[in-house]
Amino acid sequence: MVLGILLMLVATITYNVSIILLAIAARSESKEQDRKSLTTHVAERSSGALSIALGLLGWVFELMALTRISVTLARVIYASGFSVMLVLARLRLGEKLERSEAIGIGAITLGIVAVSTTIPSVSKTNPGLLGWVILTIVIVPIIFLSDIVRWYRKSPAAYLSGIGAGLGYSASSLYTKGVSDLLSMSTLVPLALLAIAAGITSLVAFSNQIRALQTGRATAIVPLVVGLQSVIPITVASLFFGEKWPVTLSGQFMLGGGITLTIIGMVLLANSSAQLVQASSSGD
C-alpha cells in the first residue's frame, strides 16, 4: 500500500506540472480556434508537447498505483496537489489567489480530508459489460457540454469547459481502474476496449482543459476539475467497484459531508471563474 501511495504522489506532482505547462501553451494561442485546431497547435508547442508527455507519464504512475490502492484513496491523494498547483500558478502564470477562490479551495480540501477518513479497502470487483455501458451512456454525453453550448455561443464559459474536463478525466480514471483490474487476467478484448475508452475520454478531457485554461484562471479551473475528479470516482466506486461506504452513522456523515463540501467548493470556483472571465471580457 505504501508503494501505491508513493506512486500516486508522483503521479499527482507530474499531473500538476503538466497542467501549468498546458496553461502556458494554451494562452499563447488565439481564442477563436475550434477544439481541434487549438489542441493541435498547443500540442505543437514545446510546452504543450512536454505537458502531454508528463500527462502520459502521470497516467502510467496512476495505473500502477491503482493496482495497490483504492480509487477513493487515489482521488484523495490527487487532490493534495493543490499546493503544487498554487505555487506554480503564482510563479509561472502570475496568478494571485482571490478570496472566493481561497474559500472554494478550502471547502474542497476540507471535503476531501473528511472523505479520506472513510477510505475503503482496495477492491477487485468489476462492474461487467452492463455496468460499463451504463457508465458510458450516463457520463460521456456530459463531457461534450462545452461543445453543445458552443453551438449557441461563440465561446462557452471557462467553467463549462472545466466541467467537461473534470468529467472526462473522471471517466478516464474509472476506465483506468477497469484496466488495472484486468491486467492479471487473460481478457484481451475487454482490456483493449477499456484502454481505448480511457484514452479517448482523457483526450476529450485534455482538449476541454486546454480551452478552460486558455480563458479561465488556473487557480479556479484546476480545483474545479480536481473536485469533479474526486467526487465522481468516489461515488461511482461504491456502485461499480464494490468499494463499500461506511456503515456507521459518523462515517456516513463524514463521507456525505465531505462530498457536500467538495461540491460547494466547486460551485464557488465555477462562479469565481465566470465572474473573472466576464470582467476580463468587459475590460477588452
Q: What is the 3-state secondary structure (H, E, C) of 168-225?
A: HHHHHHHHHHHHHHHCCCCCHHHHHHHHHHHHHHHHHHHHHHHHHHHHCCHHHHHHHH
Compute the average pLDDT of residues 164-169. Answer: 86
State the pLDDT at residue 284.
45
Compute the average pLDDT of residues 182-196. Answer: 78
**Gyration radius from the chain CA atoms:** 18
**Which of residues 124 and 10 earns the better pLDDT score?**
10
pLDDT at 132 over 80: yes
Give every CB contact of residue 151 below 8 A, 6+ residues apart in sequence. none
Q: What is the distance between the alpha carbons of residues 264 and 103, in angstroms, rounded to a whole number?
A: 10
Find where cell 466541467 sits.
Answer: 163
Compute the average pLDDT of residues 239-244. Answer: 70
Q: What is the distance between the alpha carbons of residues 29 and 42, in angstroms, rounded to a whole number?
A: 7
Handedness of CA 47, 50, 54, 60 (dihedral sign): positive
Q: For 31-73, how does the pLDDT look when each residue is reduced to its tens digit (9 = 90+)?
A: 777 777 888 889 889 999 999 999 889 989 988 898 888 766 7
| Total Cβ atoms within 10 A of residue 124 | 11
Q: For 93-104, how does the pLDDT look when each residue is reduced to its tens digit (9 = 90+)?
A: 887 777 777 888
> Mean pLDDT in the chain?
78
Residue 279 banded pLDDT, cuts 50, 70, 90: very low
State the pLDDT at residue 154.
58
Q: What is the distance between the alpha carbons of residues 187 and 183, in angstroms, rounded to a whole number?
A: 8
* Long-range pairs for 63-68: beta carbons < 8 A, 24 or more residues apart: 63/176, 63/179, 63/180, 64/4, 64/7, 65/4, 65/5, 65/7, 65/8, 65/11, 66/4, 66/176, 66/177, 66/180, 67/4, 67/180, 67/183, 68/1, 68/3, 68/4, 68/7, 68/122
Q: CA torsion angle for 239, 243, 247, 252 (degrees, to 10)?
A: -70
Q: What is the distance between the alpha carbons of residues 221 and 16, in angstroms, rounded to a whole number?
A: 12
pLDDT at 161 over 50: yes
Compute the average pLDDT of residues 269-278. Answer: 60
Compute the average pLDDT of residues 200-222. Answer: 83
State the pLDDT at residue 123.
60
Residue 7 banded pLDDT, cuts 50, 70, 90: very high
Q: What is the distance between the alpha carbons of residues 255 and 239, in angstroms, rounded to a whole number?
A: 15
14 φ/ψ angles, rounded to the nearest 5 degrees: -60, -45
Q: For 242-260, how does the pLDDT look when each residue is reduced to its tens digit (9 = 90+)?
A: 667 777 888 878 878 888 8
What is the pTM for the complete model shown? 0.72
Contact by Cβ (8 Å): 182, 67: no
Handedness of CA 271, 281, 209, 19 (dihedral sign): negative
State the pLDDT at residue 210.
87
Compute the average pLDDT of residues 224-247. Answer: 74
Number of domains in the chain: 1
Compute the average pLDDT of residues 80-86. Answer: 73
Classify residue 44 as exposed, middle or buried by CB count within 10 Å of its CB (0-12, 13-18, 19+): exposed
Handedness of CA 259, 128, 69, 141 (dihedral sign): negative
Query: Which domain range does residue 61 map to?
Result: 2-283
The H or E element spanning position 32 is none
Classify residue 92 as exposed, middle or buried by CB count within 10 Å of its CB (0-12, 13-18, 19+): middle
pLDDT at 282 over 60: no
